[in-house]
Amino acid sequence: MPNLFPSTGSGMSKNAPDIRPGRLSREEIDANFGDLHPPLDRPEALIEADRCYFCYDAPCTTACPTGIDIPGFIQKIRSDNLRGSANTILSENIMGGMCARVCPTEVLCEEACVRNTHEDKPVEIGLLQRYATDPIFDAGTELFERGATTGKRVAVVGGGPAGLACAHRLAMHGHDVVVFNRDTKLGGLNEYGIAAYKTVDEFAQKEVDWILSIGGIEVRNGVALGEDVTLAELREDYDAVFLGLGLGAVNDLGVETLPGVLNAIDYIADLRQTDDKTVLPVGKRVVVIGGGMTAIDIAVQSRRLGAGRVDIVYRRGPEHMGASRFEQELAQTNGVRIHYWAQPIAVQGDGHVSAVEFERTRIENGKLLRTGGFFTMEADVVFKAIGQALVDEPLSNALELDHGRIVVDDQQKTSLDDVWAGGDCVRGGDDLTVSAVQHGKVAAESINRHLAA
């Protein structure tokens, strides 16, 4: 694990930042990083399934980016046909297991559920989806078959949700797929980014193994486009290319920083990869700058690692936050304080951050303005969680970009005739796992039609 705090030393000096591992016992950490939404047992699932009205033209299905037939899979749960139910889910969303854990259902299917009224609550679609799919992964049951070999070869760059969904669907159509993946493990942010309490017990790798078990997918981990292989070479050697690169760079804070100001996603990646969370260095006072899912995740996980005080500062209001209302409440119930309408103007400290100065903001005619009101927040650690950006060097200016992301049409095709793209790296997405999976699926169908023509 890289040393994220090289300058903190032993912490003996009076002004040294208070950063240390082991703020909580192993037992406390284990309890804090258990399943956020424990799975339903059979009686609970049957009661929940009975709450569904099995709506015609179900709004929950329309709200699902992958278009899962939600009443259809719930109906099969009622008749104890879990394999059929899982098949309904996974045939539309091959990562239906992960999405059951991480989808912000409160702004997708469950928000659209007709039971979602002031007097009632929506059907717990996410938990039912998990109930139906977990047995498939636990038993390693094969549901899908590799198609008869076509002899066509497709390069998939990136082994995250977009790349894996594309690879699996291409394998179902009988194409030979090679996945080129920069990281040493597959899964992308499912493996390195999603909050640890949303995907416990190595579920991300279990799901990856199950996806690969279809066959016909060769994996080359530790191979990066732009370093080990070029786009021109892939276009030459393969019949089609899919790009699911994700966003590899972190946006700049816009003020000069000091040691102790960290990228939230780097720390989260370490947290996800360590076997022993008690060895992670944790600040006593943690300030998080940002308003999306990453900000909430680093704040909540810092608290659950034992940080004494955690503050999120966001430059706009609660309604503008990328994190849903549920996520904001999750932070607050974990003791995180959220401060709206302020942005950082200076990082203070002598060789290491000790405080951040903020200026209050407001919106006028749609423009974010500074108000001239200031406040300072003490910090041992500051996490930047202000969004990520595409690293476009590997694309060698060969593709059309817009606002720093790859332009695609409604079939995920880029400006090049033999290159498709999907997931976070494309323009117009909503940066969710479920949307990345849908992009990969749509692209694979389009590639399949292209190869058959």
Ligand X SMILES: Cc1cc2nc3c(=O)[nH]c(=O)nc-3n(C[C@H](O)[C@H](O)[C@H](O)COP(=O)(O)OP(=O)(O)OC[C@H]3O[C@@H](n4cnc5c(N)ncnc54)[C@H](O)[C@@H]3O)c2cc1C
Which positions lie near ligand X, rule CB under 6 A? 102-103, 157-163, 180-183, 188-189, 193-194, 198, 224-226, 244-246, 248, 265, 268, 293-294, 297, 394, 423-425, 431-434, 436
Question: From ligand SF4, ligand X, none, which one binds at residue 188 (CB under 5 to 8 Å depending on kind)?
Answer: ligand X
Six-digit token string for 355: 């405080």
For 9-54, give the secondary structure using H, E and C: CCCCCCCCCCEECCCCCHHHHHHHCCCCCCCCCHHHHHHHHHCCCC
Q: CB 126 → ligand SF4: shortest distance, Å?
A: 11
CA distance 96 to 65: 12
Read off the DSSP letter of residue 418: T
Residue 58's binding partner out of ligand SF4, ligand X, none, with CB under 5 to 8 Å set by partner kind: ligand SF4
Residues near ligand SF4 (CB under 6 A) are 52-55, 58-60, 70-71, 113-115, 123, 125
123/437 with CB nearer ligand X: 437
Instruction: Report the DSSP pairing between strands 342-349 and 353-364.
Output: antiparallel
- In the bound complex, what is the minimum distance in angstroms from residue 158's beta carbon to ligand X? 3
Residue with smaller CB distance to ligand SF4, 115 or 206: 115
Closest of 418, 393, 441 to residue 241, by C-alpha = 418
338 binds, among ligand SF4, ligand X, none (CB under 5 to 8 A by kind): none
> Residue 187 Cβ, how far from ligand X at the closest point, in Å?
7
Q: Closest approach of Cβ 116 to ligand SF4, in Å?
A: 8
How far apart are alpha carbons 330 and 239 in whole angstroms?
A: 46
The nearer residue to ligand SF4, 4 or 114, going by C-beta atoms, is 114
> Of these partners, ligand SF4, ligand X, none, which one is at the site of residue 433 (CB under 5 to 8 Å by kind)?
ligand X
Three-state DSSP state, 259 = coil
**DSSP of 429-443, one letter per residue?**
----HHHHHHHHHHH
Q: Which does 125 bind (CB under 5 to 8 A by kind): ligand X, ligand SF4, none?
A: ligand SF4
**In the complex with ligand X, which residue's Cβ is closer, 86 or 245?**
245
How crowded is residue 315: how many other Cβ atoms within 10 Å of its Cβ? Answer: 22
Count of CB atoms situated within 10 Å of the CB of 121: 12
Task: Give the nearer residue to ligand X in terms of CB position, either 294 or 361.
Answer: 294
CB under 5 to 8 A by kind: which of ligand X, ligand SF4, none does 283 bind?
none
CA within 13 Å, CB half, 450: 23
CB of 238 to ligand SF4, least distance (A): 41
Least distance between ligand SF4 and beta carbon 432 (Å):
19
Judged by beta carbon distances under 5 to 8 A according to partner kind, the member of ligand SF4, ligand X, none in contact with residue 123 is ligand SF4
Residue with smaller CB distance to ligand SF4, 45 or 113: 113
Phi, psi of 316 (to 5 degrees): -125, -165
Q: Least distance from C-beta 106 to ligand SF4, angstroms?
A: 13
Q: Of 71 and 159, which CB lies nearer to ligand SF4 in the complex structure? A: 71
Whose CA is closest to 181, among 196, 163, 168, 194?
163
Query: Which of 241, 253, 261 has the alpha carbon at shortest distance from 158?
Result: 241
- Binding partner selected for residue 293 from ligand X, ligand SF4, none, CB under the kind-specific 5 to 8 Å limit: ligand X
Nearer to ligand X, 114 or 224 (CB): 224
Written as six digits, the tokens of 323 are: 């994190």
Answer yes or no: are the C-beta atoms of 231 and 398 closer than 8 Å: yes
